[in-house]
Amino acid sequence: MTLTPRNAGIGARFGAAAPAYEDHASIQRLAAERLAGDIALLPLPPRPRILEIGCGTGLLTQALARRIGPADWTVTDIASGMLAAAQRGPSLPGQARYQLLDGEHPAGLEGGYDLICSSLAVQWFSDLNAGLGRLAALLAPGGCLAVATLADGTFQEWQAAHAAAGLSAATPRYPSAAAIHPDGGNLAGGVRSERLIHNHPDGLRFLRGLKGIGATTPAPGRAPLGAAQLRRVLAAFDEQGAGVTYHLAYGMWKKSNQHPAGVFVTGTDTGIGKTLVSAILARAWNADYWKPVQTGVAEEPGDTDTVAQLAGLPPERLHLPAYVLQAPLSPWAAATLEDAIVDATSIVPPATQAPLIVEGAGGLYVPIDDTHMMIDLIARLDMPVVLAARSGLGTINHTLLSLEALKRRGIPILGVIMSGPLSAGNKEAIERFGDVRVLAEIPPLAKVDAQTVQALASTIPSLAECLQALGDAPAVAS
C-alpha cells in the first residue's frame, strides 16, 4: 500500500492512538451505532459481501455484526495499529479478512460488494465525492454504500474561538450535507444529518480528546498553533462555554439494478391523494398500474377501477392486487378482522413492458402483516418513490419525517407531489430542507375526471428526466 505523505501522517497518528482510542471515542461510538442501525434496515442478501473503510478499533464492525450476523467481511484501515486493535476484538460471524488499505484509493480489490460502509473516516479524504465514487464503483448491482461523516458546522465553536483570538483554525473544512454525493452514475439515495453538542470541562480536555483518537492532523497547508496563540484560543473557547458541535451526515446510496422502470407512490398519511397522483403519473408516463394491497372495498370501489377511469387505462394495463380486504383499515388490522392471512414477502410485482406505477396503502409505517410495514415492501420492491403530501399547515413536518425515513433505508426519492391550496413557502421548505424536488402541485379541484387528470399529467416532467436526476436512467417509454 503506497500512501501520500499526508495520508501516511494521518495513519501514523491514528495508529499511535489505537490503545486508548475507545476511552475518548464517545461521538465515534454513537455514530457507529446510528449507522449500523440504518444498515440493518437494508434488504441485504444472506451472508452479504461487506467492505468496511477505516474500521478504527472496530466500533462499526462489531455494531454491524450484532445486527446482521454472518457475512463475508473485508475490514480495512489506513493505520496498522487500528487494524490490529479491530482484529483483537470478538470474532466476526462468517468469514473475515483484515487488510491495510487507503480507502480513498482502494487499489487491488475485486469489487462486487453488497455493502461498503464507513463510520467517521471518509472526512479525511482529500476529495470526498471522488473517493466515494471510487468506492461506489466496487459495489455489486443493487449494492449499498453507507457512510457516516462530518459536515459543515462541525467544530464551529473552536473556529469561533480562533476568530476571537484573531486567528484561523487549522481544523479541516467539511462540506454541507447537501453537497455530499459520490461522483459517477447509477446511484440513488441521499444524506440525512443530525447535530450533537459535546460539552467538555475546558478546551484543554477537548484537545486531549482529539489527540486520544488521533484526529490531530491539521488541514492541508496549515501549521499547528504556537504556545502563546494556543493559550489565547483556549481562553476564548473556555469563555464561550467549552461545548463543541458535531454535524454528523449519514449517506446511503444504492447502485442501480437496471431493472425495468417502476415508481412506488406512497404518502405522508392516509387520504392524502395517492390514487389521484397515481392516475396522473400513469397518464403522464404511459404506465401500467398496480395496487399490491387493497383495503376498504366494503365501503367504496377499489383504487384500480378509479385509476383506470381517470387515466384512461385499458384492462391490459391494469394488474390485480395481491390482496383485497373489506375493512377500511391497515392491511394488518383488516386481515385480523377477516381472519385472512397477508404475507408481505409473497408480494411480487407483475411483469410489464411499460413503466409500472405501484400505489401503496396509507403511509410508510402502515403495517402489512405481523412483521412488515409498507416501507419494508417499498425497500424490497427496489423502486424509487414519489411521495404524496398535503400543501397546508403541518405538511413540512410530516413530509420531512417521511423523507428522512426513506433516506435511512437507502430508498431513492423521485420527488414530492403536493395537493391542496398552493403554498410557495411550504414548497420551498420541503425542497430546501428535504433536498428533494417537488414534481407538481395539485390545486383544489372542482371536478376530478379524465380531462382534469390529462391536464395535470401534461405538467409532470418525463420519467426519464426524473430518473436521470437520480443518476438512474434505464431506457423507458415516457
pLDDT number for residue 476: 39
The predicted pLDDT at position 172 comes to 87
pLDDT top residue among 386 and 169:
386
159/140 Cα distance (integer angstroms): 41
Res 259 pLDDT > 80: no
Which listed residue (291, 407, 427, 447) is catalytic? 291
3-state secondary structure of 51: strand
Could you tell me the CA-to-CA distances from 72 to 51, 95, 195, 256 in Å, in that order? 9, 5, 33, 22
Predicted pLDDT of residue 440: 95
For 339-393, give the secondary structure using H, E and C.
CCCCCHHHCCCCCCCCCEEEEEEEECCCECCCCCEHHHHHHHHCCCEEEEEECCC
Grid coordinates given for 100: 491495510
Q: Check pLDDT > 70 for residue 473.
A: no
What is the mean pLDDT of the segment spanning 443-470?
Answer: 91
Going through 281-355 in order, the beta strands assigned E by DSSP cover 288-290, 293-294, 318-319, 323-324
User: pLDDT band at 464, cuts 50/70/90?
Assistant: confident
d(Cα 197, Cα 43) in Å, to the nearest integer?
32
Residue 474: pLDDT over 50 = no
The pLDDT, as a whole number, for residue 132 is 95
Q: CA 342 to CA 229: how far, in whole Å?
A: 68
Distance, in Å, from the CA atom of 139 to the CA atom of 145, rounded to the nearest integer, reads 8
**What's the pLDDT score for residue 214?**
86
CA angle, 198 then 200 then 205, to 5°: 125
In this predicted structure, what is the pLDDT of residue 376? 92
Let me know if the fold of 5-255 is the same as that of 262-472: yes
Binding residue ranges for Mg(2+): 275, 303, 359
What pLDDT is stored for residue 224 in this prediction? 81
291 catalytic? Reply is: yes
Q: Which residues are annotated as a binding site for substrate?
A: 295
Chain-centre distance for alpha carbon 90 = 29
pLDDT of 478 higher than 60: no
Here the contacts of 420-424 (C-beta below 8 Å, separation 24 or greater) are: 420/390, 420/391, 420/392, 420/444, 421/391, 421/392, 422/391, 423/391, 423/392, 423/395
pLDDT in tens, 367-380: 999 999 999 999 88
Q: Is a pLDDT exceeding 60 seen at residue 184?
A: yes
Fold held by 262-472: Rossmann fold (3.40.50)
Categorize the per-residue pLDDT at 382 as very low, low, confident or very high, splitting at 50, 70 and 90: confident
Residue 174 near residue 212 (C-beta atoms within 8 A): no
Report which DSSP code applies to 30: H
- CATH code for the domain defined by 5-255: 3.40.50.150
The pLDDT assigned to 257 comes to: 63
What is the pLDDT confidence band of residue 439, given thresholds at 50, 70 and 90? very high
Give the pTM.
0.74
Question: Alpha carbon 243 to chain centroid distance?
Answer: 28
| Residue 32: per-residue pLDDT | 97
Feature table: binding site: 271-276, 295, 303, 359-362, 443-445
Q: Give the amino acid at 261.
A: A
Do β-strands 385-390 and 413-419 pair in parallel, antiparallel, or remain unpaired? parallel
CA distance 182 to 169: 28
Residues annotated in a binding site for ATP: 271-276, 303, 359-362, 443-445
Residue-wise pLDDT for 191-202, tens only, equals 999 999 999 999
285-305 confidence digits (pLDDT tens): 999 999 999 998 888 878 999
- Write the CB contacts of 344 (distance below 8 Å, at least 6 apart in sequence): 368, 369, 371, 372, 376, 377, 380
Sorted by where each begins, the domain ranges of the chain are 5-255, 262-472
